[in-house]
Amino acid sequence: MFSTASIARFNQLETPFYYYNLQLLQQTLEACLQAARQHQFHVHYALKANFNSKVLQAIQAAGMGADCVSGNEVKAAIAHGFDKGKVVFAGVGKSDREINAALDADIFCFNVESVQELEVINELAAAKDKTAQVAIRINPNVDAHTHHYITTGLEENKFGINTWQLDEVVATLKTSANLKFAGLHFHVGSQITNLEVFKNLCLRVNELSEWFEQQQMPVRVLNVGGGLGVDYYQPDTNNICDFEGYFNVFKQYLKVKAGQEVHFELGRALVAQSASLISRVLYVKNGRKKNFLVLDAGMTELIRPMLYQAYHHIENISRQQNEDTATVNYDVVGPICESTDCFRTGVALPQSKRGDLIAVRTAGAYGEVMASGYNLRDHVQSVYSVEQEQEVM
C-alpha cells in the first residue's frame, strides 16, 4: 500500500524505477537478527539477491556477513564495509582471478563445489604462501519442492559435491597443506515456503556432519544456506517473513555440538518485500478477446515472470480499488520486442488509462540485479523512501 504522498511524488518522476522502502527493509533486518540471536545463529546476506548500494549499506550497518557468488560481489561487500572475516565466497565456477582476489582480501571462507576446485585453491594459496579456509558444499539430495530452475540441492544439479565423492574430498583435504577445513555447506533451493523441507535438510546435515567427524575431520561450521520464501501474493499482509519459525526448525532438528557455529545465507527473505517496480501505462489496447496494458517497464527491468513464470502482485496505484470497483482483465505487458515480455495475463484492475502508475510488488530480490540493456534500454533507476511518506508495504 502506498501513501498519497508517495503516489504524488511518483507522478513527478520519470518511470520506470525501483522504489525502495528503506523503513521496511530496516524492520525486516531487525526481525531476522532478533530471531537469529536467540539461538546464536550467524546470518550472511546473499548479495546476488540485490546489490543496490543503499541496500548493502543498511545490511552492513546491521552487522550481517556477506555471502558472495562472484569476485565482484566479494569486492562490493568489502567496499561497503562488510567485515572480511564474515565474507564467504561460493559458486560452482570461480575463476583463478576471482580466487586470487579473495585470497588477497583474506575472506573468511571459500564454499567449495568440486574436488578440482579444492586442488586449484590449494595451488593458488600456496603461491601466495597463504592458507585458505574452506567449507565443502554437499548435495544433500533434498527436494526443495520449488521451481526446477531454482532447485539446487539434488544430485542432478550442477552445484556442490555428491556424497559418493566424499572419500576423495577427505583425501584431498588431508594432503592439501594450504587448505584449512572449516566445515560443511548446503543450499537446497530458493523460495521455499514449506518448512518441512528445512527439517529434512537438518536430518541430512546431521548424518553428513557425523560422517566427517568419523573421518577425523572436525566440523566447526555448519552452513545450511538460505532459501526461505516470501509471500508474493499478499505483500501488504505478510511483508516480513516468519523468521522465528524458520530458525526454530533448525534449533529443533539440527544437532549442534559444542564449539560448532551455525551459519545461514539469506537473500530474498531480507529484501524482496522492500521494493516495487513502478511503471507507467504507455498504451491501452482493447481487443475482442484480450485487453492489454502496455507499460514502459518490461523484461529488461524485471525478468522473473518471463524467466521463472514467477507471480508478482500488480496494482494500478493511480486508481483506488475496493470490492465494489468495476474491473477489467488485462494482460500486463512490456515494450520489449519479445512475445515473452509479459508480466501477467488476465490481471483484474480498475479500468486503466494512459499515464496511470502501475506497481509490480515484491521486486526487491532478483529484480534490479537482473536488469539488462537489451534493446539498448536505459538502465533502470532507483528511488528511495523518505520517512514522511510512511508507506505500509
Q: What is the pLDDT of residues 80-117, one digit of tens each?
A: 999 999 999 999 999 999 999 999 999 999 999 999 99
Task: Evaluate whether 26 touches 58 at the Cβ level (below 8 Å).
Answer: yes
pLDDT of residue 142: 74
- 278 and 241 in a common domain: no
Instruction: For residue 156, name the pLDDT band (cuts at 50, 70, 90).
Output: low
Q: Is the pLDDT of residue 148 over 80?
A: no
Is 63 in a helix, a strand, or coil?
coil
Read off the pLDDT of residues 220-229 as tens digits, 9 standing for 90 and up. Answer: 999 999 999 9
Q: How far apart are CA 61 and CA 53, in angstroms?
A: 12
Rg (CA), the chain: 23
Task: Write out the three cell numbers for 197.
Answer: 523441507
Q: What is the CATH number of the domain that holds 369?
A: 2.40.37.10
Residue 251 lies in a domain: yes
160: left (phi over 0), alpha (psi -120 to 50) or beta: left
Q: How far apart are CA 68 and CA 356, in angstroms?
A: 38
Instruction: For residue 155, name the pLDDT band (cuts at 50, 70, 90).
Output: low
- What residue numbers bound the domain in which 151 lies? 22-272
Residue 268 lies in a domain: yes
- 46 and 152 in a common domain: yes
Cis amide leading into 335 (omega within 30): no
Q: Is the pLDDT of residue 282 over 80?
A: yes
Q: How far apart are CA 191 and CA 226, in angstroms?
A: 9
Task: Evaluate whether 313 touches 60 at the Cβ level (below 8 Å).
Answer: no
- 223 and 191 in a common domain: yes
- 303 and 242 in a common domain: no
Is 131 in a helix, a strand, or coil?
coil
Instruction: For residue 391, name the pLDDT band (cuts at 50, 70, 90).
Output: low
Residue 178 lies in a domain: yes
- Residue finishing a domain among 272, 289, 309: 272
Q: What is the CATH number of the domain that holds 232?
A: 3.20.20.10
pLDDT of residue 287: 86
- 84 and 27 in a common domain: yes
Percent of the chain residues past pLDDT 90, beyond the cut = 89
Q: What is the DSSP letter of 209?
A: H
- Residue finishing a domain among 246, 272, 298: 272
- 334 and 234 in a common domain: no
Residue 393 lies in a domain: no
Q: What is the mean pLDDT of residues 169-184?
A: 98
Q: Is the pLDDT of residue 268 over 90?
A: yes
* CA-based torsion, 189, 246, 218, 64: positive or negative: positive
- 281 and 267 in a common domain: no
C-alpha count within 13 angstroms, C-beta hemisphere, residue 71: 13
Residue 234 lies in a domain: yes
Residue 94 lies in a domain: yes
245's enclosing H/E stretch is helix 243-253
Read off the pLDDT of residues 235-267 as tens digits, 9 standing for 90 and up. Answer: 999 999 999 999 999 999 999 999 999 999 999
Q: What is the mean pLDDT of residues 256-279?
A: 98
DSSP characters for 320-366? ---TT--EEEEEEE-SSSSTT-EEEEEEEEE---TT-EEEE-S-TTT
- 201 and 306 in a common domain: no
Q: What is the mean pLDDT of residues 204-232?
A: 97
Residue 82 lies in a domain: yes
- 286 and 235 in a common domain: no
Distance of CA 207 to the CA centre of its chain: 27
pLDDT of residue 147: 42
Average confidence score pLDDT of the chain: 94
Domain count, the chain: 2
- Report field, pTM of the whole predicted structure over 0.85: yes
- 80 and 213 in a common domain: yes
Residue 184 lies in a domain: yes
pLDDT of residue 299: 98
Q: Is the pLDDT of residue 149 over 70?
A: no
pLDDT of residue 153: 40
Q: Is the pLDDT of residue 387 over 90?
A: no
- 297 and 240 in a common domain: no
- 294 and 165 in a common domain: no
Instruction: For residue 355, name the pLDDT band (cuts at 50, 70, 90).
Output: very high
pLDDT of residue 152: 43
- Residue finishing a domain among 272, 300, 324: 272
pLDDT of residue 302: 98
